[in-house]
Amino acid sequence: YDHLLSIEPGTPFAESTPTPAHTVIPFLFRNGLLGATSGIEIASGWTPMPWWRLNSSYSYLHFDLKKAAGSLDTSTVTSTENSSPHHQVVIQSSLNLPKNLELDLTYRYVSGLPAQSIKSYSTGDARFGWHIGEGLELSLVGQNLFQPNHAESQGDPGPLVGIKRSAYAKITWRR
């Protein structure tokens, strides 16, 4: 990528209004960064039994950003490179059980975001479903089960975005 957003310091100047007299140090948005991203995504699926399906995926993301010639930006490269997870893993198990029952389990790992002070986290989801009759299904779902909550991102500007453990029941009717 060329001409990526940078934050460049401008020339400081003095102002007398509004009082008291003060010095203004401007920061300007420019296009003073360049770089590349690379990564890999791997996904697999396996059906060990007709009633059991396993899926998994892994993704890796690498940033290689640099200041363009003449850029005085001191923080955007580091904050950008460390504001996306470099590693993500998902493992899913789906079971079709007797008596029209289903059990789905999901494990997720997301690496940390150091620029936002977000730690890596692992969590899991579970779904128990029952196909009651023609087009009617009842599901019980638990999400983010491994801890009471975890942070996923830092708003800019704004508060930390945290995800809480949750559970719900769902009834679905299809015609």
Residue 146 lies in a domain: yes
Residue 15 lies in a domain: no
Angle, CA 169 vertex, CA 163 and CA 173 arms, to 5°: 125
pTM: 0.82
Listed in sequence order, the residues at least 6 apart from 159 whose beta carbon sits closer than 8 Å to its beta carbon are none
Please write the tens of the pLDDT for every residue from 80-96. 888 899 999 999 999 99
Contact indicator for 66, 34 with CB cutoff of 8 Å: yes
Residue 61 lies in a domain: yes
Residue 167 lies in a domain: yes
Residue 148 lies in a domain: yes
User: Domain limits at 80?
Assistant: 38-173
* CA–CA distance, 114 with 81 (Å, rounded to integer): 9
Residue 12 lies in a domain: no
What's the pLDDT at 155?
65
Residue 30 lies in a domain: no
* Total count of domains within the chain: 1
What's the pLDDT at 156?
63
Residue 44 lies in a domain: yes
